[in-house]
């Protein structure tokens, strides 16, 4: 199934070709409502989805991604990992910083704000260009209930939906917050999402080994920035969800992110400015790329391996002064 949410939170089912939609009420009023009652509503939602695709559903309307907010406008919890180890290793090499302990065997994860997610075409209001404005292209999953101490294999079975993410960052604020030992706060403004959240079966073979086997095409001000592949995750989503649930249970609607999609091959480009900057420092001896300015735009779209557009839709956002 494919889901989207209008700006007021009302839930839509979206057709496979993403041209049509139908309201999910009265089966479920919002996506969080559906996730919290998944066992009860999955079958009637599936029936409504199939009737939408067959052309027999009542009340069908054109699907307009610009009218959508994030699929989950708010979430009980937003947890972001760093599952692409190449990204972290580049940072260590560029700045000659000590390696993160157990980086290869224990996922790195922070808890972000989950009360104010941005929609796919929302402007991004930020206080200052001096804060080092950066985009971060990611994939993520939305869980059902996850018991404390669950195994990675069982955690993977708790995945209900897959999403595409732009995890905005303010790079000038991050180093101080990391040194405090308390992690990110001001350095992580509201996160944005592509309009459509999908059940894993909608990805077909592109959902494999607990990873999104797709390229994430990123453009900055209309120019190519990168197309890194999601299959290079060192930790799969089951491992990330299990890590998050090691000492606590997760409630339905928890979102777990992959961290910045990053590939070893330089030709893949990058999904964030910070990574391009450290590659410039390593390969050319100096940083040449600045961070974003007010008025800049970033566009992100997942692509199947044959080049077809992915099922999540497009993130296309502009940075503006708060």
Q: Are residues 230 and 315 both part of a single domain?
A: yes
Q: Are residues 78 and 208 both part of a single domain?
A: yes
pLDDT at 94: 61
Indicate whether 46 pLDDT > 70: yes
Q: Model confidence at 95, in pLDDT bands (50, 70, 90)? A: low
How do residues 267-276 score in pLDDT, each as one tens digit? 999 999 999 9
pLDDT at 197: 98
Mean pLDDT of all residues belonging to the chain: 96
Please give the C-alpha separations between residue 26 and each of 20, 32, 69, in angstroms, as whole numbers.
18, 14, 20
Mean per-residue pLDDT, 149-163: 98
pLDDT at 140: 98
Kindly state the greatest CA–CA separation across the chain: 61
Q: Are residues 51 and 80 both part of a single domain?
A: no
The three-class DSSP label of residue 7 is: coil
Q: Model confidence at 88, in pLDDT bands (50, 70, 90)? A: confident
Please give the C-alpha separations between residue 263 and each of 89, 162, 226, 234, 306, in angstroms, as whole numbers.
11, 20, 10, 11, 18
Mean per-residue pLDDT, 84-107: 83
Residue 140, φ and ψ in degrees, nearest 5: -155, 170
pLDDT at 183: 82
Q: Are strands 159-166 and 133-134 parallel, antiparallel or unpaired?
A: unpaired
pLDDT at 187: 94
pLDDT at 100: 81
Q: Enumerate residues 6+ apart whose C-beta is below 8 A from 231.
A: 208, 209, 211, 212, 213
Indicate whether 86 pLDDT > 70: yes
Q: Are residues 227 and 162 both part of a single domain?
A: yes
Indicate whether 38 pLDDT > 80: yes
Indicate whether 198 pLDDT > 90: yes
pLDDT at 78: 98
Indicate whether 107 pLDDT > 80: yes
Contact 312, 163 (CB under 8 A): yes
Domain of 214 in residue numbering reads as 70-321
How do residues 218-235 score in pLDDT, each as one tens digit? 999 999 999 999 999 999
The three-class DSSP label of residue 146 is: strand
Q: Are residues 159 and 292 both part of a single domain?
A: yes
pLDDT at 58: 97
pLDDT at 148: 98
Domain end (from 66, 92, 116): 66
pLDDT above 90 coverage of the chain, percent: 90
Domain end (from 49, 66, 83): 66
Q: Are residues 137 and 271 both part of a single domain?
A: yes
- The two tokens of residue 45 are 């939602």
Q: Are residues 11 and 132 both part of a single domain?
A: no
Q: Are residues 139 and 14 both part of a single domain?
A: no
Q: How many domains does the chain have?
A: 2
Q: Are residues 55 and 177 both part of a single domain?
A: no
Mean per-residue pLDDT, 60-85: 97
Q: Enumerate residues 6+ apart whose C-beta is below 8 A from 264.
A: 86, 232
Residue 310, φ and ψ in degrees, nearest 5: -75, 180
**3-class secondary structure for 106-126?**
CCCEEEECCCCCECCCCCEEE
DSSP codes, 72-94: SSS-S-EEEE---HHHHHHHHHH
Mean per-residue pLDDT, 40-53: 98
Q: In which element (H, E) is residue 20 found?
A: strand 20-23
DSSP codes, 216-261: EEEEETTEEEE--BGGG-SS-HHHHHHHHTSSS-B-TT-EEE--S-
Burial class (CB within 10 angstroms; exposed 0-12, middle 13-18, buried 19+) of 265: exposed
H helices of the chain, in order, are 31-36, 38-54, 85-95, 152-157, 174-179, 237-244, 273-284
Q: Are residues 245 and 302 both part of a single domain?
A: yes
How do residues 305-318 score in pLDDT, each as one tens digit? 999 999 999 999 99
Residues written for the chain? 322
pLDDT at 253: 98
Assess whether the previous peptide bond of 26 is cis (omega < 30° from 0): yes
Domain end (from 66, 90, 108): 66
Q: Kindly report the CATH number assigned to the domain that includes residue 281.
A: 3.90.850.10
pLDDT at 153: 98
pLDDT at 69: 98
Q: Are residues 55 and 178 both part of a single domain?
A: no
Q: Model confidence at 118, in pLDDT bands (50, 70, 90)? A: very high
How do residues 246-301 score in pLDDT, each as one tens digit? 999 999 999 999 999 999 999 999 999 999 999 999 999 999 999 999 999 999 99
Q: Are residues 140 and 289 both part of a single domain?
A: yes
Indicate whether 137 pLDDT > 70: yes
Indicate whether 96 pLDDT > 80: no
Contact 168, 266 (CB under 8 A): no
Q: In which element (H, E) is residue 159 found?
A: strand 159-166
């Amino acid at each position: 199934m494919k889901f989207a949410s209008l700006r007021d939170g009302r839930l839509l089912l979206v057709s496979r070709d993403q041209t049509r939609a139908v309201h999910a009420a009265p089966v479920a009023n919002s996506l969080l409502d559906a996730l919290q009652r998944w066992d009860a509503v999955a079958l009637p939602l599936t029936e409504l989805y199939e009737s939408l695709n067959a052309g027999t559903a009542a009340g069908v309307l054109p699907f307009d991604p610009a009218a959508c907010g994030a699929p989950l406008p708010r979430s009980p919890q937003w947890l972001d990992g760093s599952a692409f180890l190449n990204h972290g290793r580049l940072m260590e090499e560029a700045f000659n910083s000590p390696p993160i302990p157990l980086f290869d065997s224990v996922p790195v994860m922070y808890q972000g704000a989950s009360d104010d997610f941005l929609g796919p075409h929302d402007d991004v209001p930020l206080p200052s260009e001096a804060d080092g404005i950066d985009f971060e292209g990611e994939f993520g999953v939305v869980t059902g209930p996850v018991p404390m101490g669950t195994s990675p294999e069982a955690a993977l079975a708790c995945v209900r939906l897959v999403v595409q993410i732009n995890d905005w960052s303010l790079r000038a604020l991050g180093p101080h917050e990391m040194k405090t030992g308390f992690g990110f706060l001001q350095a992580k403004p509201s996160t944005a999402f592509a309009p459509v959240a999908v059940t894993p079966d909608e990805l077909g073979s592109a959902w494999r080994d607990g990873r999104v086997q797709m390229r994430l095409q990123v453009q900055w001000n209309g120019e190519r920035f990168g197309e890194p592949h999601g299959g290079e995750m060192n930790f799969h989503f089951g491992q990330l969800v299990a890590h998050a649930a090691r000492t606590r249970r997760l409630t339905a609607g928890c979102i777990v992110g992959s961290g910045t999609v990053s590939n070893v091959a330089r030709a893949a480009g990058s999904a964030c400015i910070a990574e391009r900057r450290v590659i410039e420092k390593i390969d050319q001896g100096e940083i040449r790329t600045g961070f974003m300015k007010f008025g800049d735009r970033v566009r992100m779209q997942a692509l199947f391996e044959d080049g077809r557009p992915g099922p999540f839709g497009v993130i296309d956002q502009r940075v503006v002064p708060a």
